[in-house]
């Protein structure tokens, strides 16, 4: 059965966009996942199909109306998780990505302007997700980011079943560095252990590199790694 994505947006032409290419594009063509895009403008009010209004309490910008967004959600809602992309949301994690990939799909609501009236988020019991601590102009790129992360984990999308297992974040560690041919490039040799075919030594070297990179680059993740006891022999 296909993993079903629904997108609610004011800019339907942004989809599938990059997800029509490469692994995700092939998976879309062969039915591993499916995509339905709903233009929230179709649920706009009056002759001008208005979707937004000025914020209560004053301030710059416009806010998407709860009645309009609710009607758009009502046209697609089912048992799938309902997700609002917003910088106020919980940061997206590989753990949540993996859970979503194991489910039936997701309904993703893309904000624009100053965002969406909070009441419709509460009324619908939606989950708020952020893709990072910076502000984009709309939820479309965040929705594409979330979908890309999920789709590559769907069965059959990646070449090797394992290639999703060893990666960064799979056990709160960053991944080890990668090397390919030529073995000597620009005066730089590939780490010797990788060329000697000793698989146990390679695994040990990769683990040590992953730990060192995490400790140097992401002390926050390293602290988690130590706290979970994963570092214990």
Closer CB to ligand SAH, residue 92 or residue 213?
92
Q: Which residue is nearest to ligand SAH (CB)?
A: 111
Among 17, 20, 104, 132, binds ligand SAH (CB under 6 A): 132
Question: Which residues within the stretch 139-198 sit at the binding site for ligand SAH (CB under 6 A)?
Answer: 139, 142
Question: Which residues within the stretch 78-117 sit at the binding site for ligand SAH (CB under 6 A)?
Answer: 85-88, 110-112, 114-116
Is the Cα torsion angle 119, 9, 26, 22 positive or negative in sign?
negative
Q: Which helix (H) or strand (E) holds 33?
A: strand 33-39
> Binding to ligand SAH by residue 126, rule CB under 6 A?
no
Among 23, 62, 136, 221, binds ligand SAH (CB under 6 A): 136
Task: Put residue 59 in one of left, alpha, beta given phi > 0 → left and psi -120 to 50 → alpha.
Answer: left
Among 46, 134, 162, 165, binds ligand SAH (CB under 6 A): 134
Determine the length of the chain.
Answer: 233
Closer CB to ligand SAH, residue 44 or residue 87?
87
Q: Determine the 3-state secondary structure of 120 from DSSP.
A: helix
Closer CB to ligand SAH, residue 113 or residue 205?
113
Residues 147, 151, 156: CA angle, nearest 5 degrees = 175
CA–CA dist 34, 42 (Å, integer): 21
- Tell me the H-state helices in the chain: 22-29, 66-74, 94-102, 118-123, 140-151, 199-217, 219-227
- Least spacing, CB of residue 111 vs ligand SAH, in Å: 2
> By rule CB under 6 A, what count of residues binds ligand SAH?
20
Residues that bind ligand SAH (CB under 6 A): 85-88, 110-112, 114-116, 130-132, 134-139, 142
């Amino acid at each position: 059965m296909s993993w079903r994505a629904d997108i609610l947006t004011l800019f339907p032409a942004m989809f599938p966009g990059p997800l029509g290419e490469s692994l995700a594009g092939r998976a879309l063509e062969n039915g591993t996942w499916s995509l339905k895009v709903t233009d929230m403008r179709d649920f706009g009010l009056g002759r001008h199909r208005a979707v937004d209004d000025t914020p209560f309490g004053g301030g710059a910008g416009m806010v998407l109306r709860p009645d309009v967004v609710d009607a758009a959600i009502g046209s697609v809602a089912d048992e799938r998780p309902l997700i609002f992309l917003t910088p106020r949301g919980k940061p997206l994690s590989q753990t949540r990505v993996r859970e979503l990939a194991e489910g039936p799909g997701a309904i993703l609501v893309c904000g624009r302007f100053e965002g969406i009236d909070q009441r419709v988020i509460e009324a619908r019991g939606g989950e708020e997700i952020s893709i990072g601590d910076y502000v984009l102009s709309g939820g479309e790129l965040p929705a594409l980011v979330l979908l890309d992360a999920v789709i590559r984990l769907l069965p059959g999308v990646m070449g090797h079943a394992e290639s999703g297992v060893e990666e960064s974040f799979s056990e709160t560690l960053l991944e080890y560095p990668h090397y390919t041919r030529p073995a000597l490039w620009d005066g730089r040799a590939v780490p010797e252990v990788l060329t000697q075919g000793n698989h146990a030594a390679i695994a040990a070297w990769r683990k040590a590199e992953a730990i060192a990179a995490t400790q140097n680059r992401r002390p926050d993740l390293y602290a988690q790694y130590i706290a979970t006891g994963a570092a214990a022999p």
